Chains A and B, each alone.
Chain A
Amino acid sequence: MVDEGYWSGNLETYYSLDWDDFNNEFATRGSAMLMIGTWGFNVTATNFGESSDDWDWNPLPILNSQAGSAPNYQLATGGTMSINAASKNADGAAKVIDWILSDKARALKVTGSLGYGAWLLPLKYTDADFDPNIDPRQKRFLTEFAEASDSGNYGYTTWTFYPNDPGVHIWKDMEVVWAGDITPLEFMEESQRLWDKAREDDALVPVGKR
């Protein structure tokens, strides 16, 4: 879609624009959609401002017919709440984490302090849990995301669990495919080679059980 000009009109302009431009284009009818994570909610809401136009969100569609039609959410985990193996007070640290996560309202308060754009935990929220001033689109996300993840309909962004080499390859070398310098098959072969090497080097990051 990028090389066909669905974003920014053409590939070269897509390369020239930054996130401010992409956000602005979306808010001013320059583009039909903006592909971004939930952290873009607040910027989008601000950019639309008093405009008579409105916006809403949708999870990315699943293009593989074998995977079913249920929406799938990509978790862009950029950090974890972990306890250091050398911690002198591991139990105390665990208590803090329990304290935050055991209370739905408390967890939601933390999420709210980040504008409901980050730190989104898939807890089973109901309408009653939310502040009446919350943007209904963000509320819908939190409830539907919890349902989808509860059903196992989630995956991860490449930067969450990809090893470094295949992780860089997938975004950097995609430009080479768009440029027509290599075929998609050659791209996938290189990706396979890098994954094999990462596996051989024991560089795979363990993914949590579902």
Chain B
Amino acid sequence: MPKFLTSINAISWYFLFPVIFIHFFVVAFPSILSLLLCLTDWNGFGRINYVGLENFQELFRDRVFKKAVKHNIIWTVMFLTIPVIVALVIAYLLTGIKRGQLFYRLVYFFPYILASIVNCLIWRYIFHPRHGLGGWFENQGIDFLAKSPFAMKETALYAVAWVDMWHFWGFLVIIYLTGMYQVDDSLYEAADIEGATKFQKFRYITLPMIRPIFVLSLIIIIIWSVPTFDYVYILTMGGPAYSSEVVANHLYSQAFQRMNVGYASTIGVMMFFYVGIIVGFFAILRRMGWEV
């Protein structure tokens, strides 16, 4: 057997091959197909007609798409602030707990390991106007939570985001905590000698030292916010009246309900470019010497 077939490099490729093979058919091939289908009016099973950039023109006129993009931006901003701040504070406080810390870590992380359908059903039940808190308050003669926040167009998006954040923030706690444990204790000891307060130690030692992990978490949030789908689909299906519609949900509806597969591919391509821009932006920052 030729030597290059048994070299370490070749063996690495043998192990990688199954993953690459599956990835090609499950991810790469459909993605490439989407790039082509976005220029067609394919409905998923009929004839494929080339329509040029018609789908893109339609997309910029699409009222629901514009609304969905706006919701994705709101979603991203919410996830970049609320769970990040809460997770940072809780992780920092946890570093000071010596006994029972594992218990808190488990409790905070628990929603993250639950399936999205379970999380959603729990919260939908809690806010159910008949069987949940609303019904209970009604029985006590109190008019509170009589309407589910998932069913009001003013609150639907925020209510869904709340459930997803409840599930997600425990994950951030764990990765921030991991970063904080890697900070050299001598820095804190020096700060103690200098009389630094807990906040000053957090601001001037912890935060700068965990910056790579912190920035990574922000990148993850920004990228994961783009295809966010499951919580919206399960809890509201983008409604009522598209008040919680996000881009991935709109794509699903176009592809599998309205059977506008060509148009849905156009939405997918736009999402792809948006993620590409974000990744490119952070790649540039890294080249400029940022620790990201």
Contact = CB atoms under 8 A, between A and B. Distances in A.
A11 B242 CA distance: 15
Contacts of B147: 10, 12-13, 16
A147 interface: no
Given A15-B151, A201-B41, A175 B253 contact: no
B130 A168 contact: no
A12 B152 contact: yes
Contacts of B257: 164, 168, 172
Interface string B6-18: 0000000000000
Interface string B139-173: 00000001110111100000000000000000000
Interface stretch (A72-80, A125-133, A176-184): A176-184
B258 A179 contact: no
B240 to A, nearest CB: 5
B148 A16 contact: yes
A203 B241 contact: no
Interface in B126-146: 127-130, 146
B243 interface: yes
A17 B130 CA distance: 8
A12 B150 CA distance: 9
Given A175-B239, A178-B241, A179-B241, A16 B41 contact: no
B260 interface: yes
14 contacts: A10-B147, A11-B151, A12-B152, A13-B147, A14-B151, A16-B150, A17-B129, A21-B130, A164-B258, A165-B258, A165-B260, A172-B239, A172-B257, A175-B242
A178 B153 CA distance: 11
A13 B241 contact: no
Given A13-B129, A13-B151, A179-B153, A164 B259 contact: yes
A203 B260 CA distance: 12
A181 B153 CA distance: 11
B258 A168 contact: yes
Interface size class of A (residues with CB under 8 A): 20 to 34
B217 interface: no
B31 interface: no
B43 interface: yes
A176 B240 CA distance: 8
B41 to A, nearest CB: 7
Given A21-B130, A168-B253, A15 B240 contact: yes
A10 B240 CA distance: 13
B216 to A, nearest CB: 38
Label chain A's interface by main secondary structure: helix
A179 B128 CA distance: 20
A181 B241 contact: yes
Contact of B240 (A17, A21, A168, A175): A175
Nearest to A165: B258
B152 A176 contact: no
A200 to B, nearest CB: 11
Given A16-B150, A176-B242, 11 more contacts: A13-B130, A13-B146, A15-B150, A16-B129, A21-B130, A168-B258, A175-B240, A175-B241, A176-B241, A178-B240, A201-B43
A203 to B, nearest CB: 7
B145 to A, nearest CB: 11
A21 B148 CA distance: 15
A15 B129 CA distance: 10
Given A16-B128, A17-B130, A175-B241, A164 B151 contact: no
Contacts of A11: 151, 240
A181 B41 CA distance: 29
Interface string A165-203: 100100010011011010000000000000000000101
Contacts of A164: 43, 257-260
A20 B161 CA distance: 27
A181 B260 CA distance: 24
Contacts of A201: 41, 43
Nearest to B259: A164
A203 B43 contact: yes
